[in-house]
């Protein structure tokens, strides 16, 4: 069995410094050196998972093949590494406590007093080591959410302290990501926030081995020397992470700074061969030197926080780069769309994606947008709720089924073209009615979706509750909306399209979750191509 090595990534000074991107970039560099690597995220909030969190609170909820609703950082991990994650890659405080309390209720602790130390920290350590114990990975990178000093992060930091001791210095490395701010009034960079952050980490018994310093200006050798002296690290262990134009520049930036080499030396692992970033850099070259530009509207109800649609915006980058096309996204709030202003907001676009979501807010705006798109032959891609809105729009305006709707929006609709399956109707637990994770879909040959995938059987990730109502399938087909893909076991509708339209495709699943730098999703590639052709 492999002797798995562990890397812990903590953050200080402020949140949103980019721990996930640093972890993913380091993992990429180690991967292209030939090491098998995975990354996990430990989230200190008490929710069991982000599934019930408002996107404004936490951005996108990412879904894995095994149906886990997880932090959006797992999307970065998959996009960078091109390998799927699972339930084991995301752990929350809620899940930790739930597991410990369940054991206590079963009597597993034999009457002992259950405490944060050792019981909670033991459970954290067990979760951290789950991936390493599979024998599949040389290195497991664990990103600890939040900021050092947060009360909710303390058990995780303590678990790291214990693990470092148990694993031995050659098997564990702590990277601390921190901020070196520039004070314009003084005209200089300040190291004090980093010093305080490291001091706080050390008070918890954890000495960082490497500092990664986020900065707007180059920090130079003098500041590296000062930080090394005050923070008990070697000067080589102080890594500059300067702001860049795209997150996809960060692996090259970290390679130039020698982060991967420093880590490998501390873990006593070979530093040869050097990383082969040829494919990665070819992607970057195309991304930065597009030959064409397309204007695509993204219609959604969370557009104020673009992280709510992170996987979609990144999938457009992957698909655009593969064809040397710059995708210029226009964020359009569905609540602001009406019959009167749809033309002014949509007429100059080369294509429109109607985004997923839950709940009634903003859906009528999505329906108005889809009507304009359909009637004016603008390329369309509807994802999850976006597909369902396309079905409702078609029912109302082509089939003339007045007040057709989804029972999610209107329980008393006379024409429930989107509905719960019979077996779901008596389930009250919020997650119980969800169709989550990877489900198969059989595509019909000769359709737009088949053309994109070039294969009959596909598997895609789902996150939804309501389904196309098959009672209306024949009506839709006769009127020109084709059901082009279904689940072979349940006969649930997965994809719809209008063959007479230049490009009108709706999918019940989330193709954006599977798009990566090296494998752009075929549906996004096909859609971007259709948008270019529509110009």
Known catalytic residues are 384, 510, 512
Backbone CA torsion sign across 143, 144, 147, 148: negative
Q: Is 484 annotated as a binding residue?
A: no
Q: Is 260 annotated as a binding residue?
A: no
Q: Is 138 annotated as a binding residue?
A: no
Instruction: Provide the edge-to-edge strand list for the sheet that holds 325-333.
Output: 325-333, 292-300, 351-354, 380-383, 504-507, 493-497, 482-486, 435-443, 457-464
Cis peptide before 490 (omega within 30 of 0): no
Q: Is 386 annotated as a binding residue?
A: yes
Q: Is 346 annotated as a binding residue?
A: no
Q: Is 307 annotated as a binding residue?
A: no
Q: Is 472 annotated as a binding residue?
A: no
Q: Is 357 annotated as a binding residue?
A: yes
Give me the residues paired with residue 354 across strands.
Answer: 299, 382
Q: Tokens 């959006």 belong to which residue? A: 72
Q: In sequence order, what E strands does 198-316 have?
A: 210-215, 238-242, 292-300
Q: Is 20 annotated as a binding residue?
A: yes
Chain-centroid distance of CA 350 in Å reads 26
CA-derived radius of gyration, the chain? 25
Q: Is 18 annotated as a binding residue?
A: yes
Q: Is 125 annotated as a binding residue?
A: no
Q: Is 431 annotated as a binding residue?
A: no
For residue 186, report the phi and psi dihedrals to the nearest 5 degrees: -90, -20
Q: Is 34 annotated as a binding residue?
A: no
**Rounded to whole angstroms, how far apart are CA atoms 122 and 127?**
9
Decide: helix, strand or coil at residue 481: coil
The tokens describing 414, both together, are 């006379």
Q: Is 152 annotated as a binding residue?
A: yes
CA distances from 506 to 20, 299, 373, 433, 436 (A): 31, 14, 13, 22, 18
**Rounded to whole angstroms, how far apart are CA atoms 83 and 257?**
25
Q: Is 139 annotated as a binding residue?
A: no
Q: Is 81 annotated as a binding residue?
A: no
Q: Is 150 annotated as a binding residue?
A: yes
Q: Is 506 annotated as a binding residue?
A: no
Q: Which of 267, 269, 258 is nearest to 173 (CA)?
A: 267
**Rounded to whole angstroms, how far apart are CA atoms 78 and 310?**
13
State the binding site for CTP.
15, 150-152, 190-195, 226
Give the residue ranges of the annotated binding site for UTP. 15, 190-195, 226
Feature table: binding site for ATP: 16-21, 73, 244
Annotated binding site for L-glutamine: 56, 357, 385-388, 408, 465
Residue stretches of the annotated binding site: 15-21, 56, 73, 143, 150-152, 190-195, 226, 244, 357, 385-388, 408, 465
């Amino acid at each position: 069995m492999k002797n798995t090595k562990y890397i812990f990534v903590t953050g200080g000074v402020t949140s949103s410094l980019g721990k996930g991107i640093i972890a993913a970039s380091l993992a990429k560099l180690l991967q292209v050196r030939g090491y098998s690597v995975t990354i996990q995220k430990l989230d200190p909030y008490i929710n069991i998972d982000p599934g019930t969190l408002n996107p404004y609170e936490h951005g996108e909820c990412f879904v894995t093949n095994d149906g886990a609703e997880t932090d959006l950082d797992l999307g970065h991990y998959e996009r960078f590494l091109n390998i799927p994650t699972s339930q084991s890659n995301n752990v929350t405080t809620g899940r930790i406590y739930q597991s410990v309390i369940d054991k206590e209720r079963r009597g597993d602790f034999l009457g002992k007093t259950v405490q944060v130390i050792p019981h909670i920290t033991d459970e954290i350590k067990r979760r951290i080591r789950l991936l390493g114990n599979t024998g599949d990975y040389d290195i497991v990178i664990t990103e600890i959410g939040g900021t050092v000093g947060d009360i909710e992060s303390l058990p995780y930091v303590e678990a790291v302290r214990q693990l470092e001791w148990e694993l031995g210095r050659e098997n564990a490395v702590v990277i601390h990501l921190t901020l070196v701010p520039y004070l314009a009034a003084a005209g200089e960079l300040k190291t004090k926030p980093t010093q305080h952050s490291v001091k706080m980490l050390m008070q918890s018994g954890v000495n960082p081995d490497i500092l990664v310093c986020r900065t707007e200006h180059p920090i130079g050798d003098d500041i590296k020397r000062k930080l090394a002296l005050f923070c008990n690290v070697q000067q080589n262990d102080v890594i500059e992470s300067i702001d860049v134009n795209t997150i996809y520049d960060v692996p090259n930036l970290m390679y130039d700074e020698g982060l991967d080499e420093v880590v490998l030396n501390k873990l006593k692992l070979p530093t040869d061969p050097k990383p082969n970033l040829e494919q990665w850099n070819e992607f970057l070259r195309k991304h930065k030197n597009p030959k064409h530009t397309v204007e695509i509207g993204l219609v959604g109800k969370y557009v104020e926080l673009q992280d709510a649609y992170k996987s979609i915006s990144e999938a457009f980058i992957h698909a655009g780069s593969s064809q040397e096309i710059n995708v210029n996204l226009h964020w359009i709030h569905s609540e602001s769309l009406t019959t009167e202003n749809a033309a002014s907001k949509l007429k100059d676009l080369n294509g429109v994606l109607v985004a997923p979501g839950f709940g009634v807010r903003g859906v009528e705006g999505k329906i108005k947008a889809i009507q304009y798109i359909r009637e004016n032959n603008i390329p369309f891609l509807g994802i999850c709720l976006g597909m369902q809105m396309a079905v409702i729009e078609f029912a109302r305006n082509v089939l003339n089924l007045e007040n057709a709707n989804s029972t999610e929006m209107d329980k008393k609709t006379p024409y429930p073209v989107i509905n719960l399956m019979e077996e779901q109707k008596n389930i009250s637990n919020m997650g119980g009615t969800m169709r989550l994770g990877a489900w198969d879909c059989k595509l019909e040959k000769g359709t737009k979706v088949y053309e994109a995938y070039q294969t009959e059987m596909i598997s895609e990730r789902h996150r939804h509750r309501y389904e196309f109502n098959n009672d209306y399938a024949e009506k839709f087909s006769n009127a020109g909306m084709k059901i082009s893909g279904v689940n072979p076991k349940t006969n649930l509708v997965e994809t719809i399209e209008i063959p007479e339209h230049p490009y009108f495709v709706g999918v019940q699943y989330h193709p954006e979750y599977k798009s990566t730098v090296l494998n752009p999703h075929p549906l996004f590639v096909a859609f971007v191509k259709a948008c270019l052709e529509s110009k």
